[in-house]
Amino acid sequence: MTGGNCAPIGVFDSGYGGLTVLRDIISLMPQYDMVYLGDNARTPYGSRSFDVVCQYTREAVQCLLDMGCPLVILACNTASAKALRDIQQKYLPKNAPDRRVLGVIRPSVEYAAEVTRNGHVGVLATVGTVTSSSYPIELRKWSGGRVLATVQQACPMWVPLVENNEINTSGAAFFVHRDVARLFDKDPDIDTLILGCTHYPLLIDAIRSSIPTPDVRIIEQGKIVAQKLADYLRRHPEIEQKCTKNGKHTYFTTEEPALFRANASLFMGQPVESVTRLLRLP
Ligand code: DGL
């Protein structure tokens, strides 16, 4: 896979959360080869500083570029919020001008602007994504004036709950209920709720049952990102031609492969076979 012209599409997340995006990409376009990298040894990113998230994300992206990936999706809001701009504007032009790296925030923002009826949007995300203010900024920029109010709530316990497979527990129910209630206290008129962290769809049942008002649209990113990716590949044949298409899916983790295999299979809803440990990122 190293350095060639044609290679799989890379998908990166700090841990298991990006699998919720990968799952939907595979279901929409099963023919594309995909390589997933989870930095499970250093998860969570959400509570880390700007510089550390930038550095870790650059290392992960470089690793996928070294495998030859023509296109890398940052299936992590925290990495998209903190590192995407730097990677797109500085890192790629200098180190890999013919490759592309895309994030998950812009597609979610555009979709929220399309579906909101009253312009009140709520965002649940990690501390890092919330403090970056990426969602309010991007919603202002890309909603064409349709989004009038954005409120955010950081949910620092949610990623550790998912990473430790504590999804269906009373502990998870407690923290999800508490944080959703805090968000709706800030704006009871929210009609569109963005799950601004790729781990959160795994807590969807608890989230849905915690929402205090009816008819709130919950935006999960997987399907939206998959559709935007399909659209991107249609518009960029020069990248699309470099993506190999044998329906092969491989996985890399910075943690124990056996542990990753067991948890990832659970999150993917199907067996995850080919898992390799990366001892360190470049
Ligand atoms: N899946 C990442 C996101 O979308 C989780 C971040 C973390 O590792 O805390 O933000």
pLDDT at 142: 92
Asked if residue 271 is part of any domain, the answer here is yes
Q: Which residues contact 107 (CB under 8 A, 6 or more apart)?
A: 221, 224, 225, 227, 228
Same domain for 203 and 252, yes or no, is no
Is 195 found in the same domain as 119? yes
- Predicted structure pTM score: 0.94
> Are residues 101 and 61 in contact, defined by beta-carbon separation less than 8 angstroms?
yes
Report if residue 20 sits inside a domain: yes
Residue 83's pLDDT is 97
Give the pLDDT of residue 267: 82
Residues 213 and 114 in one domain: yes
The verdict on whether 63 is a catalytic residue reads: no
> In terms of domains, do 124 and 200 share one?
yes
Structural domain range at position 177: 105-221
For ligand 1, mutation pick of 11, 12, 13 (most atoms within 8 Å of CB) = 13
Q: Is 76 a catalytic residue?
A: yes
Taking the C-alpha atoms of residue 226 and residue 218, their distance in angstroms, rounded to an integer, is: 17
Residue position matching structure tokens 């998959």 = 226
Per-position pLDDT tens, the chain of length 282: 444 479 999 999 999 999 999 999 999 999 999 999 999 999 999 999 999 999 999 999 999 999 999 999 999 999 999 999 999 999 999 999 999 999 999 999 999 999 999 999 999 999 999 999 999 999 999 999 999 999 999 999 999 999 888 999 999 999 999 999 999 999 999 999 999 999 999 999 999 999 999 999 999 999 999 999 999 999 999 999 999 999 999 999 999 999 999 999 888 888 998 999 997 777
Residue 197 in contact with ligand 1 by CB distance below 6 A: yes
Q: Is 159 in the pocket of ligand 1 (CB under 6 A)?
A: yes
1 located within any domain: no
Assess if residue 2 is contained within a domain. no
d(CA 191, CA 214): 9
Whether 44 and 139 map to the same domain: the answer is: no
Active-site option among 54, 63, 155, 197: 197
Determine if the peptide bond prior to 188 is cis (ω within 30°). Answer: no
Cα-Cα end-to-end distance for the chain:
16
DSSP state of 97: T
Residue 282 falls inside a structural domain? no
Q: Which of 54, 69, 76, 155 is catalytic?
A: 76
* Rounded distance from Cα 25 to ligand 1 centre (Å): 18
Cβ count near 77 (within 10 Å):
35
186 and 215 both lie in a single domain: yes
Closest ligand 1 atom number to CA of residue 46 = 9
Instruction: Give the whole-angstrom CA distance, residue 28 versus residue 157.
Output: 31
For the chain, how many structural domains are there in total?
2
* Domain co-membership, 164 together with 227: no
From 205, 221, 237, give the residue that closes a domain. Answer: 221
Evaluate whether residue 134 is within a structural domain: yes
Residue 3 lies inside a defined structural domain of this protein: no
Tokens of 90: 């500085």
- Is 250 in the same domain as 187? no
- Domain boundary among the residues 221, 244, 262 is at 221
Same domain, 110 and 214: yes
Cα Rg of the chain (Å, integer):
18
State the pLDDT at residue 2: 42
Query: Which atom of ligand 1 is found nearest the CA of 17?
Result: 1
Same domain, 191 and 227: no
**Residue 76 Cα: closest atom of ligand 1:** 4
Q: Closest ligand 1 atom, CA of 163?
A: 8
For ligand 1, say whether the CB of 80 is within 6 Å of any of its atoms: no
**70 and 83 assigned to the same domain:** yes
Do 110 and 217 lie in a common domain?
Answer: yes
CATH number of the domain enclosing 146 = 3.40.50.1860
Among 175, 204, 221, the domain-final residue is 221
Query: Tokens 């296109």 sit at which residue?
Result: 71
Pocket-testing residue among 127, 198, 225, ligand 1, by greatest number of atoms within 8 A of Cβ: 198
Q: What pLDDT is stored for residue 52 in this prediction? A: 97
Look up residue 14 and give its amino acid. S
Of the residues 195, 199, 253, which should be mutated to test ligand 1's pocket, given the most ligand atoms within 8 Å of the CB?
A: 199
- Does the residue 242 lie in any domain? yes
Ligand 1 touching residue 198 (CB < 6 A): yes
